Amino acid sequence: MKKIASVIVDVPTLQTNKPFDYYIPEEFIGHIEIGMRVVVPFGNRHIQGFVVGLKERSDIKNLKEIIEPMDVIPVLNKELLHIGDYLSEKTLCFKIAAYQVMLPPALKAKYEKYITLIDDHALEQLPTDLKKLFDKQKRLKWKDVEKFVSTSYLYRKAKEGLFEVTYEVKNQGNKKKVLYYVPTTNDVEHFQNKKNQLSKPLSQKQEEIYQVFLRHFQPHTVSQMERKVANARAPLNALVNKGLLKKEEYEQYRDPYVNRYFQKTKALPLTEDQQKAITPILNTIEEKQQEVFLLHGVTGSGKTEVYLQAIEKVINQGKEAIVLVPEISLTPQMVNRFKGRFGNLVAVLHSGLSLGEKYDEWRKIQRKEVKVVVGARSAIFAPFENIGIIIIDEEHENSYKQEDIPRYHARDIAIERSKIHHCPVVLGSATPSLESFARAKKGVYKLLTMDKRMNQSRLPTVEIVDMRNELKSGNRSMFSAQLFEKMQDRLAKKEQIVLMLNRRGYSSFVMCRDCGLVVKCPNCEISLTYHKVTDQLKCHYCGFETGTPKVCPECGSNHIRFFGTGTQKVEEELGKVLPEARVIRMDVDTTSRKGSHEKLLTDFGQGKADILLGTQMIAKGLDFPNITLVGVLSADSSLHIPDFRSSEKTFQLLTQVSGRAGRHQLPGEVIIQTYTPEHYSVQLAKNHDYLQFYRHEMLMRKQGQYPPFYYLVLIHINHEDVQYVYTVAEKIAQFLRAQLLPSSKVLGPAASPIVKIKNKYRYQVLIKYKHDPNITPALKKIIHHFYQDQLKKGLTISIDMNPYSLM
DNA sequence: AGCACGCCGACT
DNA sequence: GTCGGCGTGCTC
């Protein structure tokens, strides 16, 4: 039995980003396994760590002992530990950050520092204000005491032996315990005897409850009992006091989908397209081969049914499936389809769940109680051990890329896991990312195409309206004549309308019409956003808030105007021009409350409204038969973001939202309003012509030397002092130019599109490369070289391998 | 990240 | 002589 454990400690710094060795105490030898969390002494604190290895001897002398294990079963299996190493290597993050991102947040350590008074004698020696604090209890939280006296005083007294300072390591979330009442015996006769031995007979209520337990010896919670006997709490406790019942705590899953009925569904007959697409996937499952498929299916072509039937095969083989969907489309509609087919074999993971709920869903996976997990990005780390398929729906979505540390892409993790499990990965989309489609074309991925809609429904007809002409002809409203007319028509026909306001990028800002001043955040160099509810201007980078100016702060003019259109404004306008229409508005404001997203959609599905008005969150996944008109109020806003992917994003968004119309019997129509009707993203979305868009966009990417022709690395350098940032950025750029192959291009330093956030200036260096083994070593050197400056001078350097946003 | 240690100026 | 500020270096 190995006596020493190597532990990655929960201290995210460069110097501690390596295993530390500890003795395993006698009693835990054989108990502590690789992948478990343990509490270890580190310096004079107690912290959490992950066991990553066991060994007989260590090069370090004077090892300390592990304090205790935090798990009974390892939380990370061998495979996930490997994935953690892969993550930290590929995204250049600390090991501890990689491990933590793979686990539900409930398992993240919570630390508390306590100060305990040694004895009453010590109490006498304290100043009066401290005496008061310690009068009631001997142990207090350090941070509560710290408010009253200086830390050095506390340390000094601790050294003198008045206090003891202790550290506690706990989980952030916990298993839910439910209190049950249970008979003290499960033998009928014994139970009756016990009652008969009581000095007094039971009260009427107590007797009733007693009879319930006598009939079936099952544990009951108070509320369960109250369904049979009203006001049961007091009599239950009385029975406990009389020794007939006892209280017991049982662990219970918090099931976010409890009390919900899921219509059971069976496999549907497949269309020819679907059949053709699924066959190679099924073969790969059968042959236990690793393969990446790109399933390119137009909106409404029935990709989900293909997923479902592939999963069915996987389950029949006794294996497990991971399905990733973008957070935003993790709607009840989607969940229903999986729960309907696979019932309680499905775990669901998304950001709407509480800490505890996430933890419980995760434990269902860990305990092998489910076979399928449907979830957002982080569900890719589901602790399955026998994966048969990994599906990524809406593959092109940027929410699969995590924007903070570790900056990983779920697709990369999926492929890495599929290699270990010898299973297929299916990337599905109506508008695949250029990267994926290019790989499919090269034969790296296998391309599967479904270009026909199910139900014989046709793709909707799309009309582009040039808003410049509207303006010329005197229409100053946000609805073009065409759109307005069609909306009236649908309202008359009792059909439903989806209106999308593509507000990404520059939303409602305030500008002076006389001098052109745009009100900006004093800390962030970005225009402030107008919030009508509070009548305030807000910066959504640093949270700065200010009242709305009545006159221009620059020139004093009172011609202040609000530019950009918010959903609220559209809603108001709709109320004026189509007062009879019932409108549901969906945006961050109306969906922030838990479950509100779902409720709004259900209402719309049940026909409680005629118009669904929203931001891009309504572009995906909705499948309502009665939608026959989709209006895009302005296609342009996403087009002019300074980002090489803006055309791609616009095309995807327009195609996706168009796909909401006419999915069933009724034919659909789409109106796209724009100020740049000639742009290829808009034109090709009109024709639903992905292939042409792909060809055109590939030319642009080649010209601009962007992905998929080049890989990117984005380095951000931030500091309060512009001069200093620039100097560091310049050094970094020079260093990279010297280290990298000549074929790699180092661009910059340049000021970031948002020059200042939270009073820190932002500069960036961009690397474009095709193949360069020196990239990672060079970046690691940069991290090491500037590490001290980062700690001391408040410099931050962040590295994003394959960034999704260049802002 | 914390925390100890050590050096320095400021004050009882 | 003592207290508290902060720069430096270490944690198996």
Give the pLDDT of residue A564. Answer: 60
**What pTM, to 2 d.p., does this model score?**
0.85
Q: Is A444 left (phi over 0), alpha (psi -120 to 50) or beta?
A: alpha
Contact between residue A7 and residue A60 where contact means Cβ atoms under 8 Å apart: no
**Alpha-carbon gap, residue A422 to A397, rounded angstroms:** 25
Cis peptide bond N-terminal to A424, omega within 30: no
Q: Are strands A461-466 and A669-674 parallel, antiparallel or unpaired?
A: parallel
Q: Tell me: the pLDDT tens digits for A518-576?
A: 777 777 667 777 776 677 777 766 667 888 888 887 788 777 777 666 777 788 888 88
A646's CB contacts (< 8 A; 6+ apart) are A638, A639, A640
Helix H, strand E, coil C: the string for A233-271 is: HHHHHHHHHCCCEEEEEEEECCCCCCCCCCCCCCCCCCC
Question: CA-to-C1' distance for A87 and B8, Å?
Answer: 45
CA A158 / C1′ B11 distance in Å: 25
Question: Residue A43: is it exposed, middle or buried by C-beta count within 10 angstroms (0-12/13-18/19+)?
Answer: exposed
CA distance from start to end of chain A: 53
Q: What is the CA A24 to C1' B7 distance in angstroms?
A: 40
**C-alpha pair distances (Å), A233 with each of A74, A84, A206, A637:** 39, 49, 10, 60
Distance A43 CA to B4 C1' (A): 10
- Closest to A657 in 3D by CA, of A478, A499, A507, A496: A499
Question: What is the pLDDT, as a whole number, of residue A504?
Answer: 47
d(CA A76, CA A66): 18
pLDDT in tens, A113-153: 888 887 777 777 777 777 777 777 788 888 777 777 777 77
As beta bridge partners, residue A500 has A614, A632
Contact A340, A305 (CB under 8 A): no
Mean pLDDT of chain A: 86
Q: Which DSSP string do the residues of A377-445 spell out, in sequence order? A: GGGGG---SSEEEEEEETTT-GGGB-SSSS--BHHHHHHHHHHHHT-EEEEEESS--HHHHHHHHHTSS
Across the beta sheet with A139-141, the strand order is A139-141, A109-117, A163-171
User: What is each CA distance from A643 to A44, A348, A429, A635, A649, in whole angstroms?
Assistant: 48, 33, 22, 16, 10
- Please enumerate in sequence order all residues whose Cβ is within 8 A of that of A91, keeping only pairs 6 or more positions apart, or say none: A98, A405, A406, A407, A408, A801
Per-residue H/E/C for A185-244: CCCHHHHHHHHHCCCCCCCHHHHHHHHHHHHCCCCECHHHHHCCCCCCHHHHHHHHHCCC
**Cβ count within 10 A of residue A579:** 7
Cβ neighbour number for residue A65 with a 10 Å cutoff: 14
A43 beta carbon to strand C: under 7 Å: yes
Q: Which nucleotide is closest, CA of A159 to its C1'?
A: B4
A375 phi and psi, to 5 degrees?
-165, 175
Which residues on neighbouring strands pair with residue A488, listed in sequence order? none
**Confidence band for A506, pLDDT divided at 50, 70 and 90:** very low
A423 marked ligand binding residue: no
Mean pLDDT of A294-315: 93
Write out which nucleotides of chain B lie closer than 7 A to a protein Cβ: 1-4
Q: Tell me the β-bridge partners of A233.
A: none
E strands in A118-175: 139-141, 163-171
| Count of CB atoms situated within 10 Å of the CB of A53 | 14
The gap between A399 CA and B12 C1' (Å) is 61
Which pLDDT does position A541 carry in this prediction?
67
Query: Is the C-beta of residue A12 closer than 7 Å to nucleic acid chain B?
Result: yes
- Give residues 776-805 of chain A lying near strand B (Cβ < 7 A): 791
CB atoms within 10 A of CB A121: 9
Question: Which band of pLDDT confidence, cut at 50, 70 and 90, is reported for residue A397?
Answer: very high
pLDDT at A181 > cutoff 90: no
pLDDT (tens digit, 9 = 90+) per residue, A572-599? 888 888 888 888 888 766 776 667 777 8
Torsional class of A374: left (φ above 0), alpha (ψ -120 to 50), beta (otherwise): beta
For residue A176, give the H/E element and its range.
Answer: strand A176-183
If you measure CA to C1', which residue is closest to nucleotide C7?
A: A792
Q: How far, in Å, CA of A554 to CA of A515, rounded?
A: 8
A62: left (phi over 0), alpha (psi -120 to 50) or beta: left
Interhelix angle A722-739/A775-785, rounded to 10 degrees, is: 150
Q: Is any atom of strand C within 7 angstroms of residue A53's beta carbon?
A: no
Is A539 annotated in some ligand binding site? yes
Q: Tell me the per-residue pLDDT of A406-419, one tens digit each, with 9 for 90 and over.
A: 999 999 999 999 99
